Amino acid sequence: MRWLSGTVTALAIAWPQTLDFVEDCMSFDTRQFRECIVRPTLKALEPEIPYSLVAEELLMLTAAQESHLGTYLKQKGGPALGIYQMEPATHVDLYCNFIQLRPILARKLGLMIPSLPDVGRDVLIGNLYYATAIARVHYFRVAEPLPPLYDKALAEYWKKHWNTKLGKGTVNEALANYARYVNG
């Protein structure tokens, strides 16, 4: 155990110097994330929530902006969780005020949830299918239709309906992260 203690101390000392390296290396492969997680999840929600390429791109932008496509699974200094950085209060609100009124959608989402000690927290962080589905439900609940399929419109929609005017993120930052993590 003594060697482990020394290793942990060495990592703690080296961590700030390697943070840029970690950020550059820890995101998901864009193509694989899209093809293996996002697209199949969106198609599994049909017909209750129709699949669209716009929705797919909006989720890719959201993941790129919120977590740098998987680099961060817990918000630094905040409550948001998972690749889309959904806040637990938003998650609960979706269930109480939207999903429970749609039993077929609720069943589809329920099938994505394994038995975990802290389902709300654990599924947002560790279940990419569920996190993707619940992020899509969040956008689907918005009365305003999805934007046109071009980068700035997606970023503006994200800012208005995900990050909100109270959030620290900006449209320009979202565009830069989308370009870096999705289109880069």
21 belongs to a structural domain: no
Q: Could you give the angle at the alpha carbon of 50 between the alpha carbons of 111 and 137, nearest 5°?
A: 55
Q: What is the DSSP letter of 163?
A: I
Side chain identity at residue 127, one-letter code: N
Q: Which residues contact 42 (CB under 8 A, 6 or more apart)?
A: 49, 51, 52, 55, 56, 59, 132, 136
Per-residue pLDDT tens over the stretch 84-117: 999 999 999 999 999 999 999 999 998 888 765 5
Q: How far apart (Å, rounded) are the C-alpha atoms in residues 59 and 27?
A: 15
Q: What is the DSSP letter of 159?
A: I
Q: How far apart (Å, rounded) are the C-alpha atoms in residues 181 and 184?
A: 6
115 belongs to a structural domain: yes
Of residues 85 and 9, more confidently modeled: 85
96's tokens: 């109480």
Number of domains in the chain: 1
pLDDT at 5 over 70: no
Of residues 21 and 49, more confidently modeled: 49
Q: How far apart (Å, rounded) are the C-alpha atoms in residues 32 and 156?
A: 26
158 belongs to a structural domain: yes
pLDDT of the residue at 77: 87
Q: Taking the alpha carbons of 97, 76, 168, 131 in that order, is the dihedral positive or negative?
A: negative
pLDDT of the residue at 17: 36
Of residues 16 and 27, more confidently modeled: 27
The stretch 11-23 carries a mean pLDDT of 36
3-state helix, strand, coil in the chain (%, to 5): 65, 0, 30
5 belongs to a structural domain: no
Parent domain of 55: 26-181
CATH number at residue 95: 1.10.530
pLDDT of the residue at 118: 56
pTM to 2 decimals? 0.84
> What percentage of the chain has pLDDT greater than the value 90?
70
The stretch 124-149 carries a mean pLDDT of 95
